[in-house]
Chain A
Amino acid sequence: MGLNILVVDDSATVRAVIRKTLALAQVPVDALHEAGNGREALAVLDGQAVDLVFTDINMPEMDGIELIEAMDARGLLPQMPVAIVSTEGSATRIAQLTARGATAYVRKPFTPEQLRTVVGQLMEGVQ
């Protein structure tokens, strides 16, 4: 059985790359939902079954930090793993996001192997 994954990034190119990379990594996916910012992501989470979220940090309207906080407020964390996919490399930022509920971090640019490893770790943590 595949995963229902939500990819949140204001770049349509990045969303397409993650979709392609998950396929190359042979991650089983039942449904892949996309959102361009945190607000759109919350709308998806309200209406769709989602097992795992990949989110960027820096987005207009509602950024990744605000999204994680909103997911926590809705009781979605920690059972729904959230992986940050970002260009930022601040250890302080990563620690901050982890404290708020993020469960993994992938730095851009990433390889299929990195994404597969992260998905495996996240789903093991859920089980």
Chain B
Amino acid sequence: MQTAHRAMLTRIVTQVFEDLAFMFVDPADGPPESADGQWLEVRMAFDGPDRGRLALAAPVGLCREAAGNILGIDPEATGACDRASDALKELLNVICGHVVCELFGTEPIIRLGIPAIAELDDEALRLCLSDPDRLGFSVDDRHLAIALQIDAGQSPR
């Protein structure tokens, strides 16, 4: 990931988590020491002057807290548990909307894909957290990771 994109993505991720989920995330120095528990990953594609995709991975507990904050309910409440994956999808949806505006400006029409979510198995999680192109963030003692890939010059013009 280009340095400029890293800075842009860092700014957008911290702002969206703060504005939407009322969570203050900080850039992580490295991968988490441990990644226990279930992790979810949401992926979303975009198609504009260039095509690309974003992927955001986070532990279920963090997703549940985000859902609780977004909805204004206890993160342990049934509603928050049910909405954990939905909250992660919406966070990436909002991040993606801001990322494509930064990348391409406000003139072109960008087609955004529908966010797709999946549970990461141990191997997928290991690959995710060891990917040098992923940006890591920490909130309290939990970690999340985001990746941006751009297929420059692939879109028909």
B30 on the A face (CB < 8 A)? no
Total interface residues in chain A, CB < 8 Å: 23
Q: Chain B interface residue count: which class?
A: 20 to 34
Nearest chain A CB to B80 CB, angstrom units? 10
Nearest-CB residue, chain B, relative to A59:
B114
Nearest-CB residue, chain B, relative to A20:
B72
Known A-B contacts A10-B114, A58-B112; A92 and B107 likewise in contact (beta carbons under 8 Å) = yes
A12 on the B face (CB < 8 A)? yes
Binding site for B on A (CB under 8 A): 10-14, 16-17, 20, 58-60, 86-93, 96, 107-109
Binding site for A on B (CB under 8 A): 16, 19-20, 67, 70-72, 79, 83, 86-87, 89-90, 93-94, 96-98, 100-101, 106-110, 112-114
Q: A14-B90, A107-B97 are in contact. List 20 more A-B contacts (CB 8 A).
A: A10-B114, A11-B89, A13-B83, A13-B86, A13-B90, A17-B70, A20-B72, A87-B93, A87-B94, A89-B101, A89-B106, A90-B101, A90-B106, A90-B109, A90-B110, A91-B107, A93-B109, A96-B109, A108-B93, A109-B19
